[in-house]
Amino acid sequence: MKQTEGKIGIREYVAILLLALGTKLTDDTPSLLYGTAKNSAWISMLLIGILTVVPILFLLKVFSVHRNKNLHELNLHLFGKVFGNIVSLGMLAFGFSALVLDSATYVNIISNIYFTKTPPIAIYIIMGIVCGYGAKRGIQHIGSAAWITLSYLKVTLALALFVAFTKGNSKFLFPLWGPGTKEIVKTAASKMSIFADFYFIGIIAPVVNSFKEFKKGTFIAFSFVLVEITIAIIIYVMLFDFTSIEVISYPFHEAILYISIGFLKNVESIFLPFWLIAAFIRFSFYLYMVLVLFGGIFKIKEYEYLVPVMVVLIVFLGTSPQFATYTVPYLREQLLMILSPIFFLLPCFMWLIAKVRGDFKNEVKKDM
């Protein structure tokens, strides 16, 4: 299975994760938490982070003794050829579904907020072509583009959030426990798969320079993204108040349309270019992982030949009537609920099987 011409370092690896997961605070992910946890959504996000540490630790533990295998190859090793392929097919189905739903969400944001006169299908086609090209170039080019874009995106994002914070009201955060601890915990448990990306990144584990960098980069990115999204969720509540935040689909974009910086009234003009580039990099990375997984399951070495077919299929599904604007958030929420227990339990089960097989007896104590 062809993955890349070479490997990526921790810098590129972390940059990819920070863009791929960090941009979740700009889509409808916060709204999925506000719907049930309301003004206490930030507490649910912290609980999600705590819960996510468990599968990440188990997954990294298994990869520590299988450093040359990607996630599909690890499935075959642990579960056997038949059941391993079934597990990977399930991963492929969930990953492809998430790619279609997430890309449809971004097209909705672009077409409904920024380019209202441009047909969504045209936006989707452009996104598909750009992301398809990025996926075809491979992980090294995606990593380089992510590293170049990262600082610009994070600086403009921090600026926008800081201005929004200064215009917010901390009183809107109270009552602190919002709808109650039961709803907060329930929200965290059902939306835990917000960070399921940390399971799927096992697909590119062998292309990171070393396991030490893979492990360190994973924890750096996870910690940063968790803090970043939690702070953003708090700021959105402070800006819009808890009575209206739960009905706002895209709080970040509403925020940058609402705030101004001195004489600059259109703050979105600063952030939009970098956000679009980050979105393209994000979906190039997701498409790349789907292609590598597909190629591994069906033993297709030259995965780049699948790019046009995959892009056409994504655009077709994303613009179909079933994926109309008002259904996408619902489908995304259902997907998160289905994935959450799988994301939590599967890495634990993988570790248990590896333990029973005796894989840890030959564990490498020192990183090569």
Number of domains in the chain: 1
Q: Does 5 fall in a domain? A: no
Q: Residue 155 is part of which domain span?
A: 10-357
Q: Does 363 fall in a domain? A: no
CA pseudo-torsion sign 23, 27, 31, 33: negative
Cα distance between residue 268 and residue 123, in whole Å: 18
Give the pLDDT score at 155. Answer: 92
b/e map 137-166, b = 16+ CB within 10 Å = bbbbbbbbbbbebbeebbebbeebbebbbe
- For residue 323, is pLDDT > 80? no
**Residue range 233-276, pLDDT digits in tens:** 999 999 998 778 888 889 999 988 888 766 666 777 888 899 99
Return the percentage of the chain with pLDDT > 90, whole number.
80
Cα distance between residue 270 and residue 150, in whole Å: 15
H-only helix segments in the chain: 10-22, 29-37, 41-63, 71-79, 81-109, 120-137, 139-166, 181-190, 197-200, 211-240, 251-258, 268-297, 307-318, 328-357
pTM: 0.94
Q: Does 3 fall in a domain? A: no
- CATH number of the domain that residue 271 is part of: 1.20.1740.10
Helix (H, G, I), strand (E, B) or coil at 363: coil
DSSP 235-293: HHHHHH-TTTGGG-S-HHHHHHHH--BTTB--THHHHHHHHHHHHHHHHHHHHHHHHHH
Q: Does 104 fall in a domain? A: yes
Give the pLDDT score at 246. Answer: 81
Give the pLDDT score at 3. Answer: 44
Helix (H, G, I), strand (E, B) or coil at 8: strand
Cα distance between residue 123 and residue 106, in whole Å: 10
Q: Does 334 fall in a domain? A: yes
Q: Does 28 fall in a domain? A: yes
Q: Does 367 fall in a domain? A: no
Q: Does 353 fall in a domain? A: yes
Amino acid at 194: I
- Residue owning tokens 């939590």: 344
- For residue 37, is pLDDT > 70? yes
